[in-house]
Amino acid sequence: MSNRVGVLAIQGSFSKHIESLIRSGHPENQIAEVRTPNDLNQVDRLIIPGGESTTVGLLMQHVGLDKEIPNRAKNGMPIWGTCMGMILLANEIEDKTQFSLNLLDITVRRNAFGAQVYSFETQLPLNGLDEPLEAVFIRAPIVTRIGPEVKTLATYQDKVVAVQQGKIIGTSFHPELTNDTRLHEIFLAL
């Protein structure tokens, strides 16, 4: 069976996710940059990387990915959103009326740890992993409400920073900026 991974390549840290997928042992010819609905139809799973959620949301609507990504999710496509990607997957964004895909039954708060100067790295315990994960937080969101179908995968200082609902994962942090590929491997196995 094919396991082509798409990485949304409109803006943000998409190249780092591609590098992490390759480091995790996924064949480079099974990784594709996704910019259009046609690109999306060539892949079996999708990573939505970090970036600027308002801008990327507008661009997704412009090219039609705002409709196609939810269609694929309804048909079982695994999707993982990191930082901005988690914001775009959320049902609700605190104090914002911006576009989202409404695929994760969560509410998020943008920039919950403050401006970029307050970025940090930490060793983060994650459900399902024996050893903590190296996690990089950059203007990271947190989850402030979780729906009944959503599992918490990780918390930092009692704040929810990683969740899963079915085949959809959201993380506040950027594992693609570390050498630890375990979360990419978990996503590839979904």
173 with 155: CB under 8 angstroms? no
176 belongs to the catalytic site = yes
26 is catalytic: no
User: Which amino acid is residue 119, in one-letter code?
Assistant: S
3-state DSSP assignment of residue 88: helix
> How many Cα atoms sit within 13 Å of 151 on the Cβ side?
10
**What tokens does 65 get?**
């990915």
- The tokens for 4 are 């082509």
Pick the catalytic residue: 83, 92, 131, 149? 83
Q: From the candidates 26, 176, 184, 185, which is the catalytic residue?
A: 176
Q: Which of 17, 26, 174, 184 is catalytic?
A: 174
CA dist 190 and 185 (Å) reads 9
Angle ∠(107,119,8) on CA atoms, nearest 5: 60
CA–CA separation, 167 vs 122, rounded Å?
26
134 is an active site residue: no
Would you please indicate which residues are annotated as catalytic (active-site) residues?
83, 174, 176
